Amino acid sequence: SMGGQIMPPVMGAVAFIMAETLNIPYADVVKAAIIPALLYFGACFWQVHLEAGKAGLQGMAKAELPNPWEAVRKHWPLVLPLAVLVYLLFAGYTPIFAGTMGLALTIVLILGTPLAALIGPLAFRVVFWLALGLAAASFMRFGVNVLSLVIAALVIACLAFKGGRETLRICVDSLAAGAKNALPVGIACAIVGIVIGTLTLTGIASTFIGWIISIGENNLFLSLVLTMLTCLVLGMGIPTIPNYIITSSLAGPALL
């Protein structure tokens, strides 16, 4: 999960905040993260390989390995929202819009699955998914309201039979779990505002910035190293998002 935050094409939340803060396209953040992400996963792979060799561990037999293509064949529709999300991000849409549309398309797939299971012949199921896909994709031309109507129609249809109601219950539980998981991030971001305000009012921020500027006048590399160490120390106690906000607010102006 740590590497997933810096691994394109869909990175962690801090990458979207970075794009919004710096007022640059998300694609530029992705380009800057490709090499660090590859280095991170390469280092992890190499360390695991060395430790496994030292401990004499052996990998699973090839016959026992799960077949990834079989999983893709069975669940390939779940890749579609991810593809749409990546396309919207690189097409210049805001992360909020892209994420909302990706989530909405995921809901369409989840709610459409129990309905498709009621359709007998394969040809009819294909027609159903094609029609549903065209209706969902029409938001690119006619706006978000069309996608909202599609989801509302699927919800009403799922209420009509037992399997659909169970799917709706799972969706509600998932939304509740997602809201609970988002609470710590929201609280952390709120506390960051208090921290930044305290640092500004007490003058610690200006003192810190002046210290880095005085060092950077003679050695920019040393200023970057100090900023890196500050980021690492903060990262030991707070999540990535508030860490970036605090570090960029304090060290960014000094380095610029």
On the question of pLDDT at 205 being above 80, the answer is no
Query: Does residue 175 belong to any structural domain of this protein?
Result: no
Number of domains the chain contains: 3
* Pair (50, 102) in one structural domain: no
* Pair (80, 156) in one structural domain: yes
3-state secondary structure of 92: coil
Query: Could you tell me what percent of the chain has a pLDDT over 70?
Result: 91
Report d(CA 107, CA 187) in Å as an integer: 27
Instruction: Provide the residue range defining the domain that includes 207.
Output: 186-255
Band of pLDDT at residue 39, cut at 50, 70 and 90: very high
Tell me which of 76-80, 107-111, 138-142 is least confident. Answer: 138-142
Residue that terminates a domain, selected from 25, 40, 65: 65
Query: Does residue 179 belong to any structural domain of this protein?
Result: no
On the question of pLDDT at 75 being above 70, the answer is yes
CA dihedral 244→245→251→255, nearest 10 degrees, is: 80
Tell me which of 84-88, 110-114, 247-251 is least confident. Answer: 247-251
Query: Does residue 17 belong to any structural domain of this protein?
Result: yes
Query: Does residue 166 belong to any structural domain of this protein?
Result: no
Distant-in-sequence contacts of 97-100, Cβ < 8 A, 24+ apart: 100/144
Residue that terminates a domain, selected from 119, 143, 160: 160
Q: What is the pLDDT of residues 145-173, one digit of tens each?
A: 888 888 888 889 888 888 888 888 988 89
* Pair (191, 243) in one structural domain: yes
On the question of pLDDT at 201 being above 70, the answer is yes
Query: Does residue 35 belong to any structural domain of this protein?
Result: yes
Report d(CA 11, CA 17) in Å as an integer: 11
Report d(CA 75, CA 61) in Å as an integer: 25
* Pair (92, 58) in one structural domain: no
* Pair (51, 80) in one structural domain: no
Q: What is the pLDDT of residue 38?
A: 92
Query: Does residue 237 belong to any structural domain of this protein?
Result: yes
3-state secondary structure of 121: coil
Q: What is the pLDDT of residue 237?
A: 65
Q: What is the pLDDT of residue 213?
A: 62
Query: Could you tell me what percent of the chain has a pLDDT over 90?
Result: 6
3-state secondary structure of 217: coil
Output the 3-class SS for 50-104: HHHHHHCCCCCCHHHCCCHHHHHHHHHHHHHHHHHHHHHHHCCCCHHHHHHHHHH
On the question of pLDDT at 216 being above 80, the answer is no
* Pair (114, 155) in one structural domain: yes
* Pair (53, 87) in one structural domain: no
Query: Does residue 71 belong to any structural domain of this protein?
Result: no
Residue that terminates a domain, selected from 13, 45, 65: 65
* Pair (88, 154) in one structural domain: yes
On the question of pLDDT at 192 being above 80, the answer is no
Query: Does residue 203 belong to any structural domain of this protein?
Result: yes
- Which positions ≥6 away from 199 have C-beta within 8 Å? 205, 208, 250
Q: What is the pLDDT of residue 217?
A: 63
Confirm whether pTM is higher than 0.75.
no
DSSP, res 4? G
The position carrying tokens 């060290």 is 251
* Pair (20, 91) in one structural domain: no
* Pair (59, 83) in one structural domain: no
3-state secondary structure of 107: helix
Q: Which amino acid is at 44?
A: C
What is the mean predicted confidence (pLDDT) over 19-44?
Answer: 87
Q: What is the pLDDT of residue 41?
A: 92
